[in-house]
């Protein structure tokens, strides 16, 4: 009964509307990932299981070559951890929004949470709800957002896996995937601080590209988070609030 109430709630429809604008970009990236992994040397069953369980394109791309080369399990795990380390920051931020929920539901939402759904949700709700009504609104919106992205990713990924034999990588799908991610990133850069953080993280990632195990991504995240915290602290001391653009 409670699940049905989520579906009928106005915040659920708002979540669908807000997330639908980025769903095509997610689908393009999912199609790219499905084609690339299906052509990587893993079997269709292995790629399908990984797609369902991992639900993280960057981690899949990073781990697949290591699996094929027979790398030790701890290196595969460490690489995937480094690539997805940003979700520790997301989880810390989302914790106050989710602590009223049972553990099993929080675990389920942690699987569904993505970069895009995190940004869309926190842009819509900048502070956790203070009563049952607000908490319910937030969960209805969150569930609409994460399920829209999950369906877009899974549907397009499995289409890519199924069509991998007729869609060669020579068509430039990897580049198309990069363009899709760039489009999503630019659409979410709605404040000066976010633009600065994105530029700084990109610069740091390129500068540290030579690091092993994709550690340049960790460096990029750390640099962007540290600089954003410093700037926010400086602004708070000056009693300046950065204006945000309404969606």
pLDDT per position as a tens digit, 135-152: 999 999 999 999 999 999
User: Counting runs of H as helices and runs of E as strands, what totals does the chain give?
Assistant: 13, 0
What's residue 174's pLDDT?
58
The position carrying tokens 């030579």 is 210
Report the candidate in 158, 84, 136 with the shortest Cα–Cα distance to residue 115: 84
User: Is there a contact between 170 and 201 (Cβ–Cβ < 8 Å)?
Assistant: no
Report the candidate in 104, 111, 63, 53 with the shortest Cα–Cα distance to residue 87: 111
What's residue 119's pLDDT?
87
Percent of the chain scoring above 90 in pLDDT: 27
User: Is there a contact between 55 and 32 (Cβ–Cβ < 8 Å)?
Assistant: no
User: Is there a contact between 94 and 128 (Cβ–Cβ < 8 Å)?
Assistant: no
Using the predicted structure, report yes or no on whether residue 198 has a pLDDT greater than 50.
yes
Using the predicted structure, report yes or no on whether residue 179 has a pLDDT greater than 90.
no
Average pLDDT of the chain is 83
- DSSP-derived secondary structure letter, 54: H
Contacts of residue 84, defined as CB under 8 A and 6 or more positions apart, other chains included, come to 56, 58, 59
What's residue 235's pLDDT?
77
The position carrying tokens 């970009």 is 25
The residue length of the chain stands at 247
């Amino acid at each position: 009964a409670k699940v049905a109430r989520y579906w009928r709630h106005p915040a659920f429809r708002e979540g669908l509307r807000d997330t639908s604008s980025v769903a095509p970009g997610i689908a393009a990236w999912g199609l790219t990932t499905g084609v690339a992994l299906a052509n990587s040397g893993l079997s269709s069953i292995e790629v399908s299981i990984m797609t369902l369980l991992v639900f993280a394109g960057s981690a899949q791309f990073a781990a697949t070559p290591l699996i094929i080369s027979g790398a030790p399990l701890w290196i595969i795990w460490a690489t995937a951890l480094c690539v997805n380390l940003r979700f520790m920051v997301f989880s810390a931020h989302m914790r106050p929004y989710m602590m009223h929920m049972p553990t099993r539901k929080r675990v389920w939402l942690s699987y569904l949470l993505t970069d895009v759904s995190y940004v869309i949700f926190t842009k819509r709700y900048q502070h956790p709800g203070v009563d049952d009504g607000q908490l319910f609104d937030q969960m209805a919106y969150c569930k609409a957002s994460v399920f829209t992205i999950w369906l877009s990713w899974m549907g397009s990924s499995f289409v890519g896996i199924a069509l991998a034999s007729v869609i060669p990588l020579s068509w430039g799908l990897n580049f198309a995937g990069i363009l899709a991610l760039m489009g999503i990133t630019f659409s979410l850069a709605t404040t000066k601080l976010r633009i600065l953080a994105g530029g700084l993280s990109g610069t740091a990632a390129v500068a540290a590209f030579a690091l092993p195990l994709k550690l340049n991504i960790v460096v990029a995240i750390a640099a962007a988070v540290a600089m954003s915290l410093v700037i926010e602290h400086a602004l708070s001391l000056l009693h300046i609030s950065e204006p945000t653009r309404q969606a």
